[in-house]
Chains A and B, each alone.
Chain A
Amino acid sequence: MTTSKSVRLIHRSAILQIAIVMAGWLAGEVLVRLLGLPIPGSVAGFAIILALLVTRRLSATAMRRGAGVFLSDLLLLFMPATLAVLDHQEFLGLAGLKVLFVILGSTVAVMLVTGLTVDLCYRWRIGNAGPTRQSR
């Protein structure tokens, strides 16, 4: 991003923006392998891009559309993994029902606790700080 011309090109081209996101991911993977960090490469890449944004070495406009391509259909990327259940016939019987019971019960608990805790704390802070901007 040396000249304003190349900046404008990046702001327009979704393909170039996707390439920037991919480059961030690649940098993360390389960093994790080189340093032997116990975190996924994608998280290191996330941290690298976030750091570049915060230090203003990279502008959000240069990546907004590229990031949108990945985030708008996130569920699709997750789909191949869901079919793994077919490979575990041992969960078709009683064991499967037990697993489902544990996961269902625990997920309801986690979501209730998290949602209500955050909402209560948020309202308490907003209440104490006076009428500030509502998030939505």
Chain B
Amino acid sequence: MPALPANLVELLLHTAAWSALTIAAYWISKRLYRRWPRWWLSPLAVTPILIAAVMLSLHVSYQDYLHSTKWLLALLGPAIVAFAIPIYERRTLICRHWPVLLIGMLAGTATAIGSSWALATLVGFDGAMRLSLLPRSISTPFAVEVSGEIGGVPELTAIFVVITGIVGGLIGDILLSRIPCASALARGSLFGVGAHGAGTARAQQIGDTEGAVAGLVMVLVGLMNVVAAPLIVALLR
């Protein structure tokens, strides 16, 4: 990273400025969405556009921006730990229906890998590109691990995971208004299996039970994929 700020004061100023911008953009889009709850005004879509507009007009690269805001990303670690509490508090619901969740996670994971492979083949992707698309529906740390394992490019997979999060957060809402998903269990696992952390955040906004279920299946589906990676390799060879 050649554009590293030369001294500590500059680093702190950059961190403060870009973090403040990120938080402000997020806050503004949250207010917008509360006022006009349309899917295209979702904070998941509006916040990055606001930040990107400032970055592009100031000619700031992503590496510089990330350098100043990666502490926010690092907080995703403790956030996953924090999910232990809502999951523990809903243990009766989860223990009673664990077979249902397990079947949903298996079906969802198989669909994620199968449909990614089929659609990638359809548009003419092959080799490392196609493999990098396979683990895109699981949370970044797992996806990067699986991608490397099955012969994809972890860096590309990380990008696809992010796009999946944005897309999934948006279409999850649209799907839920059109299909019969009466139970919080179904709504939560739809988001957790389909769109990892971003989907879980969306589920958390719908309801606490939805959020807890989404958080649980997000973590479990990630683990499931890491364990299944050698199997996927064997199937593809």
* 8 Å CB contact of B190 from A63, A66, A115: A115
Which of A22, A101, A117 counts the most B-chain CB atoms under 10 A from its CB?
Answer: A117
Smallest CB separation, A57 vs chain B (Å): 12
Smallest CB separation, A19 vs chain B (Å): 10
**A85/B163 in contact, CB under 8 A:** yes
Minimum CB distance partner of A73 in chain B: B26
Which of A40, A106, A123 counts the most B-chain CB atoms under 10 A from its CB?
Answer: A106
A53-B88, A67-B86 given as contacts; is B116 within 8 A of A102 (CB)?
A: yes
B13 within 8 A of A: no
In the bound assembly, the distance between CA atoms of A136 and B117 in angstroms comes to: 36
Report the interface size class on chain B. 35 or more
Interface SS of A by simple majority:
helix
**A42/B55 in contact, CB under 8 A:** no
In the bound assembly, the distance between CA atoms of A54 and B88 in angstroms comes to: 7
In the bound assembly, the distance between CA atoms of A29 and B78 in angstroms comes to: 10
In the bound assembly, the distance between CA atoms of A62 and B165 in angstroms comes to: 31
In the bound assembly, the distance between CA atoms of A83 and B84 in angstroms comes to: 29
Smallest CB separation, B145 vs chain A (Å): 7
**B104/A118 in contact, CB under 8 A:** yes
Smallest CB separation, B56 vs chain A (Å): 8
**A49/B81 in contact, CB under 8 A:** yes
Chain B, residues 163-186, CB within 8 Å of chain A (1/0): the string is 111111101100110011111111
* 8 Å CB contact of A135 from B23, B79, B93: B93
* Residues on the B chain within 8 Å of A84, using CB: 62, 66, 158-159, 162
**B26/A79 in contact, CB under 8 A:** yes
**A80/B137 in contact, CB under 8 A:** no
Task: State which residues 36-59 of A face B: CB under 8 Å.
Answer: 38-43, 45-46, 49-50, 53-54
A109 within 8 A of B: yes
* 8 Å CB contact of A111 from B44, B47, B171: B171
Minimum CB distance partner of B78 in chain A: A25
A39-B223, A49-B81, A70-B82 given as contacts; is B193 within 8 A of A108 (CB)?
A: no
Chain B interface (Cβ within 8 Å of chain A)? Answer: 22-23, 25-26, 43-44, 47-48, 51-52, 55-56, 61-63, 65-66, 69-70, 72-73, 75-89, 91, 93, 97, 99-101, 103-105, 107-108, 111-112, 115-116, 119-120, 123-125, 133, 136-137, 140-142, 145, 158-160, 162-169, 171-172, 175-176, 179-187, 189-191, 193-195, 197-198, 200-202, 204, 207, 209, 211, 215, 219, 222-223, 226
Q: What are 18 A-B pairs at a CB distance below 8 A?
A: A24-B78, A25-B77, A39-B226, A40-B77, A45-B78, A50-B84, A50-B88, A67-B86, A75-B26, A81-B73, A91-B159, A103-B133, A103-B167, A106-B115, A111-B171, A118-B100, A118-B103, A121-B100
